[in-house]
Structure formats: C-alpha cells, structure tokens
Structure 1
C-alpha cells in the first residue's frame, strides 16, 4: 500500500475528519505514533501528520510541528531536515559518548576508543553543549558507511562555566565570549546578573536549555572585575580553564590551625641534619623553598650530599580537608605575575618552606659520592634540617664564576659533581632539548615593560642534576624492591614491586621519527631510527648539536620535540625516554605537585610502616587526574604568557621585527620574534601574491602558482599589524607585502 493510501486509510478510520478546535499534545503524540506505526521506516513531513489528523488551522499546524520537534529532542523521532521526521534513529543503531564543539565544529566522540569521532551537522546537535554525555542515533548506507547521525538524548550535562562579558538590556542580558566551545550566547535574567555591568569580566554557569529555546539560560556566579585590569584578566584565564583563583575559607582556617612546633617525640623518629651545612638555591622571587642541599666532605675523597625535600605529608593528612583541596588542584599554577598555590599559604610559604635559620621537617635522599660523582651509597630517610643560607640563582652563579663568596668551597664542589652527573646522563641517552623561556618585567599595574629570555646556567644545572638523581634513586628503590641487596628495608610477602607513582616518558612515535629522519636527510643530516633507545637518543643529541647556530636549528629542534611523546604519571614502570632513565618519579616538589606528595606517603607506607602494597586502581586514577591537571595548568600558563605578549606589543603596533616561522597551517604562518619571543600569525588571506596550501610532507606552505615556499625555521621580517587582547592574538604582516602595497612616490 502506498504512503498516501496508508495516510488516507488512517484518516478514514479516524472520525471526524475535521480536527477538534483544541488539539491536545497527548492526542497529537498518539496519532503521530499510529501514523509512524503504519509507515515503518518512512520519512514523513509534518504536513503529512497534519493531513492524517484532519483539517487544521495555522495555529494547530504550529502546535503539531512543535510537538514533533519535542518528540525529536527526546529521541522518539529524528528530524532529518526542517519539517521532515523519521521514527527514532530511522531503524539505525545508537551510541553513547561525548559532544565535542571545539573550534566550532560539532562532532560526537564515542566512548568506544576504537571508533573515530563522527561529524555532526548543526541541526543534529539538539541542545547539547561541549562536553555533555549524549546518545546519538546512526543511519548507515548499504555499504555500512555512516550516512547521518543525530543527538537523540542528553544523558549528562558537563556543568561547564564560561568567562566573558555581558551585553545588557533592560530586564535581561546576554553573555558573550570568545570561547569557541559555546554554541550560543547565554540568556541571563536581570536578577541573575550579580549587578555586573557591560564593562566587567564575569563567570557564568548554564542553568538549563529548554528544548524550544534558542539560547540556554544562565546566571552570573562571579564578577572578576573590570575588563582589561590585570587581576581581572589573570583570574579570567584561571576561570576559563576551570582552575580556582581563591582558596576556600574553611581550608585556610584548617591550615592556620596547624602547629609548626618541632617536637621531641618527632625528632626521635628522624635523622638530625641541623648541624650539617645546608642551603637552598631558588629564583629571586621564590617564596616556597621545597628543596635544599646539604654538603660535607668525607675521608678518602668522598662527599656526602643530602637532597632534602619539605615533608608536606607530616602536615597534610590523607583524606583531610586540606588534602582534598590539594588533590582537586593537583598542582600549583604559575601565571606571569602570580602563583596559584596547590597548598594554602601557611603551608607553602611558612610551615613547609625550607626557610633559612628555621628548623624544618624533611624527606631526604642522602648520597655518598666519589670524586667522579659516582653514587657509592644512597639512603632515604625522614629528617630535620636547618638551612644555613638562602641563595638566589644569580648569587650561586656568581660564586661559580668568581670562585668566591659564602660557602664557596661547598658550592664549587657541588657544581663540579653536578656537571659530571650531567655529562654522564647525556652519554647514557638523555636528550638535550633546550628551548628558551621568557620572563616579563611588570610595572605596579601589572603591565609588561621588559621581556627577558631565561637561559639555563650552571647554577640551574646544579640543582637540576641533584633533583634528577634523587627522583631516579627513589623510583629505583621501589621498582627494584625484589632485590633485597638494594632495598633491604622492604619486607614484602611478594617479590613483585609494590604499587608506586612513576613519571614516565614513552619512546617517540616510530612513524613521526621516520618522517623526521627522512626530512633531515634531505638537508644533509642523519638520524637513526633503529638500534635501541640509547642509540636513537645519542643520534638525536648529535643532530641537535650539529644544527646549533645554523639557520635550520629552530625548525629541526621543533620537529624533534613534536615527535616526542608527552610525559605523564602512571603506576606502570616504563621508564623515562627523554632522560634515559629506566626508573623515574617525582619526589622533589610536594609543595607544588600532588604526585610528589603521593610518593612521600607511599615511601612511608613501604619503608617505614612496612604495609602491604597500595590499591593500584585508586592510585592509577589519582595519576590520571594529576596528569590531566598538569596539562590544564600548562595551558593556563601559556595563555597568561600570550596575554602579556599581546599587551607588551600594543605600544609597538606598526613596528618591524625579524622572526622565525614556528608553525604553519592552511590559515597562516606563525612567527616568533627573535627579540622578545612573542608569537603572532600572518594570515594566509593577507598573502596576496599567490594562493598558498600547506604541504604536510615538507612542513611548508607552498604557493600554487609561483611555487614560493615558507618552511618551519625560515627567517621573516614582519610588521605588527593587530594586537587583540580579548582573543590574546597578535597579527603580523609580511613587511615586503606592506611595502609592495604602499603607493610609490612620484618624482618631482
């Protein structure tokens, strides 16, 4: 029977033919279901439903269409295009996953990681928001390919907050933001605005999104301050990434109640290092000194070096209110002008900070080294220390350079030992990546007035090498627990190592490495891709050494970094490829990293209390959370640097600089300025001499007609064209293009 005959039959069976004056929603739904039951798998328009119901007015037709749309929102129907519906998923399958709207491109990310993300049309997104857990229905063609997909149900909201500003009107406001993850402006009733003005930066939370509303409805939950003010903008960056910008009062009160007393009972359980020369070496503006070095000479040309780390676990008990907040944050966040600490200030800057001339509890790794910096023995102990001197990096470097100053003999010996440790580390496969970092000098209002390029000097390397040695030794002590000669204090029933937190870095992707090798071979360099991790690392180090100071240095070093995996925390004992260590953890910064605090607690559990292995599932979940928060914090830190770079360049609009290409894409060329490391974009739309396309194989942007090629690492002369603080974006223009565009001066 044809579709029209079926509809007619249904209409004939249903009397009277004229629709009642008032159509009930339930009646419309009942008739709609009957019509779709009579036409299984068929696509029907809302007009056909109206025909089946009977003679309808325009108002009734609108009510029918609205009811059909509601049935589509809850997943009972699917609206393939405006006004055309099919039952459920059209006989297709359904999947659960998350809605992704990054970059304004809607897609569905299945929970099954073996499946690729599925693109969605704007009309198939229902009222989903980025990050929502959703269910979709799929339609496939005869070959099994996805023909269409539509969100049929929102299972769980992501509860995301957004940062932006208000466009105020009488009685209401709309929230607008540069965040491309938000699909629509948010409607804010006047009583939900917290008295914010259009000039304020605000944090907004979505309350609901009605199925028939064009915009979600929300409320202002915090007013950060006037847009453009330094504190408001820094807090906006933190809020944008979901990071806290103030401490809960109850956590602050709990920290203030902690006692800093050094008790006789606790001293009896610890090794006393208060009579040993101990010092800290930190940045000039540091307040949280979480590591210190002790030094004393031993007979027969040996030295004892103690790496002493603030014993945060003594004060922060697992499961307490302070610990819960520290775990939630997982890391301190370092913005350009401020630190957002993982722990309250009383802990991070006072109780746990290894300040000079104060007795402090520490967790220590004590080494006996020979003159060649070979560790002859190492032990892990809980100690009490007293720092004799606080050095800045500049002060320590001056002692290294001149050979004179406070405790010069100790500093110079530590420097010599550190350099030997460093040389041996690179011989064994550590990779020598050395990317410059920037530091801003700010005025009282927080505006950048100078940019300084930070470089790694021997004073920095002194601290770095002993911290690496301690981290590696602690990881080895647990990973080799089955060897009683190495870890006699571990009395485990099983021979397998207990659950532990490792900092791992996996080997680079083989395909990326081969691609890099092929690319550098065309430039006359060699890179091994086979022969074991140590051989590959040494080959990579040789490559990085060979390109030093050459025009292609930036390009090749960037490609090498991009071929590497990202370091993370896990309970799996895999090793650290970049450092060339078989075992590695983070032990040396519990004030600012939660995994270090976890490591201290596990050391106490195994080495002091002699308890069974910790639960691996719970520990792995904590590791995943710490890795995620580390990435989020790093993104926030980069955003603050980007904001200050744009702010720094505003007075320099129209000025010309030289720079190097750091990135290429279909939409433009990213250039980093040599003078101050500020990065901006030369949009492709401004390259008027040709149409340019990105070539992935050669990492270059190529003109379709002229063949002109822009490559990673190329030097360019650019002019600062725009500086957009709201988007934290710099736009550059090729100076040559501007000169070609300017009208030529006429001869007199």
Structure 2
C-alpha cells in the first residue's frame, strides 16, 4: 500500500513538471474564448471556452499550460482567479417567469451571459423589466453556471436620456458630482478672487482690444486673443490662457480631484467638468468686462505670417467681447461688424500660418461632425453635419502656434529639464499599405515614399464624395494615437519638432502640468523627477482615451435614438467594413454606421474574401468592396445593444 502511494506521488510530480504556471490578465473575446498574456516571456496563452473557469474580462488569473513553448499556439486553462477586475456591472434587468436575471452590458461576459438577482417582494415595484441597473456579484457557487448578485442602483428605463447618461458614467467609473469638501474649497478660492495676486508683477494688457471666440453653448473660456498694430504691417498678437494654476495649488485636495478626473467630458447637453463650475465657468473663465489672470504668449508678426519675436509670462487682461464662431464667420463674410479690422487681420494671418504648416508637411484632416439638437425632453429632434470654418481656423492656428512656441521655449532655453509634450509617432507602415490596397479599387492612389503629401492629396480628392467619411476613418486608423510624454519624439501629424498642450487648463490636466513646469522654470524653481512627470503623462493619455470612448458611446446612443424616426425609410450608404457574418454601412445622410447580416442579402449567398476587404457571391460571383455605394432600408433599431439594423436593396 505504501509503495502504491509512493508511485502515485511520483506520477503526480512528474505530471506537474510537464506544466508551467503563470499569472496574467485575461482578455475574453466576443466569441467566448480568451487569451492571457504572460509578461515574463511575452507569450500569449490561448484559453478555450470550457477552460475559462468562471473568470471575467480583465481579471488577474493563474493559468496552467504545457511546457512545450515552441508551439505557435499555446493552449492553457485558468486554475485560479487571483483578483477580480470588478464585481460591479451595468446592464439590463430581465424578468424570466417569476424570477429576475441581469444581462451585463459587457460583451465579453460570455461565460455565464447573466447574473441571477434575488429581489425582495417589498422592492419589486422599483425593479422593472428592461430597466438599467448596477449589480454587484455577491458569490459564485461552484455548482452554479451563473453567479449570484444584488442590485446597488437603478438608473431607469433603457433608452431614456438620464438612464443612458448616468449608467454610462457609472460604467466608466466617472463621478459627475464633486464632494462637499471640494465644493467648499472651490468656494473659498472663489471668494478671494484675484485680490492679493501681486498684479504689479504681471504685464497689464487690459487696455488692448481683446476678445474670446467659442461655440455658442460654451461656458468655460480658456483662451482669449488680443491684437494691436505696432507699426505698418506688424502686429502684436497676444494669446491669453486662463492662469488656472494660480488658483489651484499643487497637492491641494482640489488639485488631486482635478488630476483624478483629468479632463472635462463633453456630452450632448451635458458637461462633466474637471473643475467645479464656480471655478471653470466663473473665476477662471475669461469672461468679458472682468479683470482676469492669464498666462500669455505675445507674438510680433508681420504681414507674411513671420514671427519676429515672442514673450511668455503672467498677465492681467480684460476681454471686451465674447464672440461665437458663427458671429465671427458672419463678420468675415460681410466684411463689417464689431472688431472687423482686428478679426480680418487675424483671419488673413491664420491663412498664412495654415499654408506654412501644410508646406512643412502637416496633415490637413478637415472632418465633418454630426451635431444634434434636443427637445425639452432631451430627445434628439434634428441633426446638422458641420465642419470647421474660417472662424474656427483663427483659433485653431493661433492655439497650435502657442503650443508649439511654448514647448520650443522650454526645450531650447531650459535645457535638460522635464516637460510634458504632446507626441505623435509615425504611422504603422503595414496599416498604410493596407489603406493603399483598399482605396486602389476606388480609383485612389497612395505614394508610400511620400506619405504625408500623398495623404493630403487624397483628402482633397475625396472631399464631398460619398466615401469621404469611410476613407477619413481608415486614414485615422492607420495613424498612431497622439499621447503625452516627457520623451519628445515630435508630432508627426502636425510636422512639429516640439509640441505641447498649454491652451486649455480649465478642461485638461495636461495643460495644468505644462503651466506649472513653465512657471517654475521662469522663476528658477525646482521641479520633480522626470519619472514623476512621465507617470502623470501616461495617466493623462489614459484618461483622454476614456473620455473619448464615453463621448463616442453617448453620441452613438443619440444617433440611434434619432434614427428611430426613420424606420422603413431608404438611404444611400457606403460599405465601411465586413465580418464573416455581416456588412457595415455608413448612412451618408447621418454619418452613422448600421449593419446588414450576410444571410439577409437575398440576391446571392455571400462569403467574406480572405483579405477581409470584400464579399463574393457564391452563385453569380458578384463582389462588393469597401467604399462601394449601396442603397439600404432602415428596418430596426436596437437601443439595448446600440445597433442599427439595415436591409439590402441594391448596389
């Protein structure tokens, strides 16, 4: 008996030695299988559906896999969940007979598809079918396929404005309210105002014509422009940025809260601000007819758009007027109006700056934006497709110039000191090559030896064409994302050697970092280590991507809700993507993407070509490419899954 036990132990040990055990984060696909990346050897372990072992997307897990690491595909299984990424999920409550279950919004919640929720009879009226709720997993017994959970919060009926807004913020863990302590600190700062701010140490620019240009619904004004003619054909132009860091002291509770939020989030009819409104919309905002503190860059520019000299420092300003973009555009068009001479000069100089930037290799992506108007019940009532006009160009070019010159100043005058840069790496060559292949059948060409000029030429050729939006999206996907870093590699898209974000400190924490560092260098003060600012830069990049995701997600909800008014209508569309089971179509009139299942295309039986850029009919051998124009019919809207279902009519 002892010998048998001994042999069993030996066999177990031998068997155990055939396996490796590592920790990693699990990534579960929409199809239900998963991958775990092992940091030690940079290997990716494939996890079959039946080996996920109740782990959920993003969990830290212990994975077991065979030692034969020479195989291309290493298969493993999850043997332990070390740490849940989250136990809380936003989703939809569904009533099944007498019981309730909860379908998480997370598409990768494939393992169980739902959480069983017990609801006390007393509260049953509060919890209704098709209501969005926040649920926490309380346990997951081994004998159950599904975990058990409890409801923490009810958002309301699926599809309603407030329901979608607040459930989305909860999903991304975004706080839409400030704590009482933060509000108290903000009120204290507001009550002091600009008193005792040593105005004598600031350059006084209150007697120079100054104004702001912003969207009509703007409430926080980060930047203002002043302009005066020095002598014949030379102008002094001041770019005045709100001196937020004068009010927000480093390491204060307010500063820590601003850093956590990191950016204001702009949703339709709703702003989630980085700073309390009493500061962002009042004290720090460069409102007209009030003395305001600013951090300014003053340029002397001649009629050719050449910079003769510049000055950077703290100022006090007094804006004369608050303009909207539409008001400024009207003044440019009609050649008359308040501050016409100043506005026209800025407009002419901005054109010179644009030409210089484009001649230097800057990519000019002039995108069209979908803007919605809501009724009193926050339902979308109309859509306008807008693009930037000359008024936008004035602000854009002078802000670009300011960001460029500030980073140049720090890099060239303050050597070997850390700074926060806005960097943009070269595009992925393989993605550019794929882009070239996709656009070739549409009659467009891309020169891989001269990518920037070729892309600009392509952008001009597609302007106003049905495929414009699709190709612009492909161009953006082929580019690397801009981010923040202390390691400057330049900005590829703008063709700038030095670039930062300095001009929006009310709504971006990256700009607060840029202000603080610059001010410390001007005053010869010590700063923290490069590592400290690099970590901050990485966090700013992360929070920026989160904000973009939230804004896109909410816009998609508004677009889909708006399209409910057009069920049964026919539209022109452009093919934007293929999967093994469907075709994605951009509805040109709304610049909104919908989907058609391959099986619903009745003219033939279509399959996806191996290149993924076309579908081919089995019988008639017809084929469709990315960018092809099609006629479609809107047959259904799924508000729960945020999907637009289309029907195929003809090419």
| Band the TM-score falls in, shorter-chain normalisation | over 0.9
Q: For residues 568-717 of structure 1, what are the structure 2 equivalents within 5 Å?
A: 568-608=483-523, 610-695=524-609, 697=611, 699-717=613-631
Report whether the alignment pairs 1:504 with 2:423: yes
Whose radius of gyration is greater, 1 or 2?
1
Instruction: Give the whole-Å Cα distance in 2 for the aligned partners of 1:167 and 1:660.
Output: 36
Provide TM-score, normalisation by structure 1. Answer: 0.81
Per-residue CA deviations over 1:476-507 (Å, capped at 9, x if unaligned) read 11122xxxxxx3xx4xxxxx431111111111
Q: Structure 1 residue aligned with 2:9, among 8, 27, 37? A: 37
Q: Structure 2 residue aligned with 1:411, among 315, 328, 343? A: 343
Partner in structure 2 of residue 447 of structure 1: 379
Q: Is the 8 A contact 1:209 1:217 kept in 2?
A: yes
Per-residue CA deviations over 1:643-696 (Å, capped at 9, x if unaligned) read 111111112111111122222222222112222222211121212333333346
Q: Is the 8 A contact 1:472 1:583 kept in 2?
A: yes
Per-residue CA deviations over 1:584-604 (Å, capped at 9, x if unaligned) read 111111111111111111111
Partner in structure 2 of residue 349 of structure 1: 281
CA apart distance, 1:113: 8.2
Q: For residues 47-446 of structure 1, what are the structure 2 equivalents within 5 Å?
A: 91-112=18-39, 115-140=42-67, 144=71, 148-159=75-86, 161-167=88-94, 173-182=100-109, 183-184=111-112, 185-190=114-119, 196-199=126-129, 200-259=131-190, 260-446=192-378
Instruction: Give the whole-Å Cα distance in 2 for the aligned partners of 1:143 and 1:580.
Output: 43
Structure having greater relative contact order (Cα 8 Å, sep ≥ 6): 2
Partner in structure 2 of residue 560 of structure 1: 475
Evaluate the alpha carbon distance shift between residue 509 and residue 652 of structure 1 in structure 2; reply closer, same or farther with a 3 A threshold.
Answer: same
DSSP 3-state at the match of 2:65: strand
Evaluate the alpha carbon distance shift between residue 320 and residue 460 of structure 1 in structure 2; reply closer, same or farther with a 3 A threshold.
Answer: same
Q: Is the 8 A contact 1:194 1:221 kept in 2?
A: no
Per-residue CA deviations over 1:43-93 (Å, capped at 9, x if unaligned) read xxxxxxxxxxxxxxxxxxxxxxxxxxxxxxxxxxxxxxxxxxxx65x6311
CA apart distance, 1:166: 2.9
Q: Is the 8 A contact 1:427 1:538 kept in 2?
A: no
CA apart distance, 1:320: 1.8
Instruction: Give the whole-Å Cα distance in 1 for the aligned partners of 2:118 and 2:57.
Output: 23
CA apart distance, 1:173: 4.6
DSSP 3-state at the match of 2:338: coil
Q: Is the 8 A contact 1:272 1:385 kept in 2?
A: yes
Evaluate the alpha carbon distance shift between residue 606 and residue 111 of structure 1 in structure 2; reply closer, same or farther with a 3 A threshold.
Answer: farther
Deviates more, 1:586-595 or 1:157-166: 157-166
Task: Give the length in aligned residue pairs.
Answer: 646
Per-residue CA deviations over 1:199-230 (Å, capped at 9, x if unaligned) read 53222233443444433343333322333321
Instruction: Give the whole-Å Cα distance in 2 for the aligned partners of 1:657 and 1:522.
Output: 23
| RMSD of aligned residue pairs (Cα, Å) | 2.7
Q: For residues 507-526 of structure 1, what are the structure 2 equivalents within 5 Å?
A: 507-518=426-437, 520=439, 525-526=444-445
Per-residue CA deviations over 1:122-167 (Å, capped at 9, x if unaligned) read 3322232211111211125596455631112222221253212334
Instruction: Give the whole-Å Cα distance in 1 for the aligned partners of 2:69 and 2:509.
Output: 52
CA apart distance, 1:631: 1.2
Segments of structure 1 that go 5 or more residues without pairing to the other structure are 1-8, 14-30, 43-86, 481-486, 491-495, 738-748
Partner in structure 2 of residue 484 of structure 1: none
DSSP 3-state at the match of 2:528: coil
Per-residue CA deviations over 1:547-599 (Å, capped at 9, x if unaligned) read 43456545543332222111111111111111111111111111111111111
DSSP 3-state at the match of 2:92: strand
DSSP 3-state at the match of 1:512: helix
Instruction: Give the whole-Å Cα distance in 1 for the aligned partners of 2:270 and 2:197.
Output: 38
CA apart distance, 1:518: 5.0
Evaluate the alpha carbon distance shift between residue 95 and residue 461 of structure 1 in structure 2; reply closer, same or farther with a 3 A threshold.
Answer: same
CA apart distance, 1:729: 0.8
Q: Is the 8 A contact 2:616 2:624 kept in 1?
A: yes
Instruction: Give the whole-Å Cα distance in 2 for the aligned partners of 1:192 and 1:662.
Output: 49
CA apart distance, 1:109: 2.9
Instruction: Give the whole-Å Cα distance in 2 for the aligned partners of 1:429 and 1:321.
Output: 43
Q: Is the 8 A contact 2:438 2:626 kept in 1?
A: no
Evaluate the alpha carbon distance shift between residue 172 and residue 601 of structure 1 in structure 2; reply closer, same or farther with a 3 A threshold.
Answer: farther
DSSP 3-state at the match of 2:217: coil
Q: For residues 15-30 of structure 1, what are the structure 2 equivalents within 5 Å?
A: none
Q: Is the 8 A contact 1:192 1:220 kept in 2?
A: no
Evaluate the alpha carbon distance shift between residue 144 and residue 733 of structure 1 in structure 2; reply closer, same or farther with a 3 A threshold.
Answer: closer
Instruction: Give the whole-Å Cα distance in 1 for the aligned partners of 2:470 and 2:202.
Output: 52
Instruction: Give the whole-Å Cα distance in 1 for the aligned partners of 2:611 and 2:367.
Output: 24
Evaluate the alpha carbon distance shift between residue 118 and residue 712 of structure 1 in structure 2; reply closer, same or farther with a 3 A threshold.
Answer: same
Evaluate the alpha carbon distance shift between residue 691 and residue 571 of structure 1 in structure 2; reply closer, same or farther with a 3 A threshold.
Answer: farther
Segments of structure 2 that go 5 or more residues without pairing to the other structure are none
Instruction: Give the whole-Å Cα distance in 1 for the aligned partners of 2:587 and 2:73.
Output: 46
Q: Is the 8 A contact 2:158 2:639 kept in 1?
A: no
Per-residue CA deviations over 1:299-334 (Å, capped at 9, x if unaligned) read 132111111111111121222222222211211111
Evaluate the alpha carbon distance shift between residue 191 and residue 328 of structure 1 in structure 2; reply closer, same or farther with a 3 A threshold.
Answer: farther
DSSP 3-state at the match of 2:105: coil
Instruction: Give the whole-Å Cα distance in 2 for the aligned partners of 1:561 and 1:461.
Output: 21
Instruction: Give the whole-Å Cα distance in 2 for the aligned partners of 1:142 and 1:410.
Output: 69
Instruction: Give the whole-Å Cα distance in 1 for the aligned partners of 2:558 and 2:484.
Output: 31
Instruction: Give the whole-Å Cα distance in 2 for the aligned partners of 1:142 and 1:311.
Output: 56
Q: Is the 8 A contact 1:660 1:713 kept in 2?
A: yes
CA apart distance, 1:697: 4.3
CA apart distance, 1:634: 1.0
Per-residue CA deviations over 1:447-498 (Å, capped at 9, x if unaligned) read 1111100111000111100000001111111122xxxxxx3xx4xxxxx431
DSSP 3-state at the match of 1:137: strand
Evaluate the alpha carbon distance shift between residue 180 and residue 270 of structure 1 in structure 2; reply closer, same or farther with a 3 A threshold.
Answer: same
Q: Is the 8 A contact 2:127 2:154 kept in 1?
A: no
